[in-house]
Copies of this chain bind each other. A is one copy, B any other.
Amino acid sequence: MTESGKPILYSYFRSSCSWRVRIALALKSIDFETVPINLIKDGGQQFSEEFQALNPMKQVPALKIDGITIAQSLAIIEYLEETRPTPRLLPQDPKKRAQVRMISDIITSGIQPLQNLSVLKQVGQENQLTWAQKAIRPGFNALEQVLWSTAGKYCVGDEVSMADLCLVPQVANAERFKVDLTPYPTISRINKTLMALEAFQVSHPCRQPDTPPELRA
């Protein structure tokens, strides 16, 4: 935390995992400071000794809060939920909570890791787009089918939940990697509805302290 007691979010404007946490902070009206960690510049600032001491995984996001540092976006969001429960990001009913966590995990374990920066580096520049599309499409096929039975206005019923915090940044990644979203009308509809909410807008990659001028909107 800063001297003023604000939590510090180590974040990269374009990181979809960082965006998930920024949405949670915005929804819960938690005032925080951003420390940008540029994943590209200087060979990747996440590899600095200083940052490695904070998060040995050398990834963003990490959140300094209440005297501890938490890495991994869902662990951060679950902690915020337990310590700052309003508005809630997990439904009250355990079965609906299971649906929220299942959808979140499909994205955070089943899709995003396969198209993240370190994997794309390994497959080589000329193969990156195809690889990322191959990672996202099967996941979106599954997600679309899951949402048929869980979705209302949002991913699970009519309340914004942790699942929605995972969905929107993953759709942005899909667009970045030129995945055709036509086969995913439910995903697209929910994404559009969520993007009308302020918390999803202020946390958007195009509006961060470290967003390069040419990408600002």
Contact = CB atoms under 8 A, between A and B. Distances in A.
A114 B105 contact: no
Contacts of A108: 105, 109
B59 A110 contact: yes
A182 interface: no
Nearest to A17: B109
A72 B73 CA distance: 17
A102 B75 contact: yes
Contact of A78 (B58, B101, B110, B146): B101
| Most central of A98, A105, A134 by chain B CB within 10 Å | A98
B94 A56 contact: no
B71 A102 contact: yes
B56 A142 contact: yes
A57 B98 contact: no
A109 B106 contact: no
A112 interface: yes
Interface in A1-32: none
A72 B95 contact: no
A59 B114 CA distance: 15
A30 B181 CA distance: 41
Contacts of A143: 56
A72 B59 contact: no
A145 B56 CA distance: 7
A118 B118 CA distance: 18
Interface in A66-101: 66, 68, 70-76, 78-79, 82-83, 94-95, 97-99, 101
Contacts of A193: none
A119 B109 contact: no
B57 A72 contact: no
A139 interface: yes
B79 A94 contact: yes
5 contacts: A57-B106, A66-B95, A74-B101, A113-B113, A122-B134
